[in-house]
């Protein structure tokens, strides 16, 4: 498998075999890290990390992974560069492409990261757009495989706003890997119908299925993996909170949902999560709407079925695999 020079913009661009190769490479890199075996084979290279939205996991994962591979990093924060304000994406891409061997981009529309890739001349990695979060998918798939020993045939249910980056990305990765994906949400939060059609075609080839339902009881029964995400994503206006809480409260992942799935099911969340009032926004929403938790209850979040911190750790190993493979590292 040779992925050298490839961009990593969305999993629609990758075959099943390529995705599984990246997961195997990530598992190998994880084992090496645990054993203290250095893999700093990309010494002397540098990568730029552009964040037009905030981040904890993705930024730290890229920085630690790059440093483990021997590379230098430059972090461009949401306010600290010229991008978009004084300089176009195409110009930025052509500048950074002359200084760095790879560029990570987190921001808004998918077309921005695609444009960056078109002009950069070096691999570009999508660290989250409104439409897709592909590095998160690799971490989630590695976590599922570690916990349940397989991917093909797994029944994965995503509860919540299924039109945005996480819902879209789960649907794509399940379609590619022969998994059974269910989006469980009110109809207006179902993924875009063109993407559903594409994913149904892919699932037809892989042995997977794509289902959309508004019935949480039916969706959760017998699921292997229950996933959710915040109800209001980065970049969305404050004004949508009230409507989201009203619309999505019936889709909260709580004890009842996990009991329907069964005791062997696992719970995933890309994080950050609203499972208590210990954050600024959590306490604000608590005061405004009289709630103590949102997309997942604290009970489920803290339960043995929740593998969210293993999932968070796997961001680093999988992002390392993406950079190593696309930069042609001999690991």
Residues that bind ligand CP (CB under 6 A): 55-58, 128, 136, 270-271
Q: Considering Cα of 47, then 51, then 52, then 57, what sign does the dihedral take? A: positive
Give residues 192-231 in contact with ligand NVA (rule: CB under 6 A): 229-230
Bond prior to 57 in cis (omega within 30° of 0) = no
Give residues 127-156 in contact with ligand NVA (rule: CB under 6 A): 128
- Paired tokens of 326: 């696309």
252 has catalytic annotation: no
Beta-carbon count within 10 A of 235 CB: 13
- Annotated catalytic residue, options 7, 59, 133, 180: 133
Q: Is 60 in the site for ligand NVA (CB under 6 A)?
A: no
Which candidate, 138, 144, 135, 187, places its Cα nearest to that of 162? 187
Residue whose CB is less far from ligand CP, 95 or 271: 271
59 has catalytic annotation: no
Which of 62, 164, 181, 190 is the binder for ligand NVA (CB under 6 A)?
164
**In the chain, count of helices (H) and strands (E)?**
13, 9
> Measured from the CB of residue 269, what is the shortest distance to ligand CP in angstroms?
8
Which candidate, 68, 20, 17, places its Cα nearest to that of 43? 68
Binding partner of residue 229 among ligand CP, ligand NVA, none, CB under 5 to 8 Å per kind? ligand NVA
> Measured from the CB of residue 329, what is the shortest distance to ligand NVA in angstroms?
26
Residue whose CB is less far from ligand NVA, 234 or 291: 234
The crossing angle, in degrees rounded to 10, of helices 110-120 and 89-99 is 50
Contact 7, 129 (CB under 8 A): no
> Measured from the CB of residue 5, what is the shortest distance to ligand CP in angstroms?
25
Which of 22, 116, 139, 166 is the binder for ligand NVA (CB under 6 A)?
166
- Paired tokens of 45: 């290279």
Contact 220, 260 (CB under 8 A): yes
229 has catalytic annotation: yes
Give the active site residues: 106, 133, 136, 229, 270, 315
Q: Tell me which residues touch ligand NVA (CB under 6 A).
A: 128, 164-166, 229-230, 233-234, 270
């Amino acid at each position: 498998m040779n992925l050298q020079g490839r961009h990593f913009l969305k999993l629609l661009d990758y075959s099943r075999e390529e995705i599984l190769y990246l997961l195997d490479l990530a598992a190998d890199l994880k084992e090496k890290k645990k054993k203290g075996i250095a893999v700093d084979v990309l010494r002397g290279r540098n990568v730029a990390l552009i964040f037009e939205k905030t981040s904890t996991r993705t930024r730290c994962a890229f920085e630690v992974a790059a440093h483990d591979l021997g590379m230098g990093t430059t972090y461009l924060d949401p306010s600290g560069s010229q991008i978009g304000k004084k300089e176009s994406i195409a110009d930025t891409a052509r500048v950074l492409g002359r200084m760095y061997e790879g560029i990570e981009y987190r921001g808004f529309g998918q077309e921005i990261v695609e444009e960056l890739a078109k002009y950069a001349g070096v691999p570009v990695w999508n660290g989250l757009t409104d439409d897709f979060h592909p590095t998160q998918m690799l971490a989630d798939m590695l976590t599922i495989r570690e916990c349940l020993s397989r991917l093909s045939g797994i029944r994965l249910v995503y509860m919540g706003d299924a039109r945005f980056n996480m819902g879209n990305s789960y649907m794509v990765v399940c379609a590619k890997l022969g998994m059974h994906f269910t989006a469980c949400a009110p109809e207006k939060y179902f993924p875009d119908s063109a993407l559903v059609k594409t994913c149904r075609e892919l699932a037809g080839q892989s042995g997977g299925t794509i289902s959309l339902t508004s019935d949480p009881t039916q969706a959760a029964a017998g699921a292997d993996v229950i996933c959710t995400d915040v109800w209001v994503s980065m970049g969305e206006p404050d004004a949508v909170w009230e409507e989201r809480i009203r619309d999505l409260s019936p889709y909260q992942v709580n004890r009842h949902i996990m009991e329907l799935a069964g005791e062997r099911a696992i719970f995933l969340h890309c994080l950050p999560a609203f499972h208590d009032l210990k954050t600024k926004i959590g306490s604000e929403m608590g005061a405004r709407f009289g709630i103590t938790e949102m997309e997942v209850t604290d009970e489920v979040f803290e339960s043995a079925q929740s593998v969210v911190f293993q999932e968070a750790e796997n961001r680093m190993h999988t992002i390392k695999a993406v950079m190593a493979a696309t930069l042609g590292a001999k690991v």
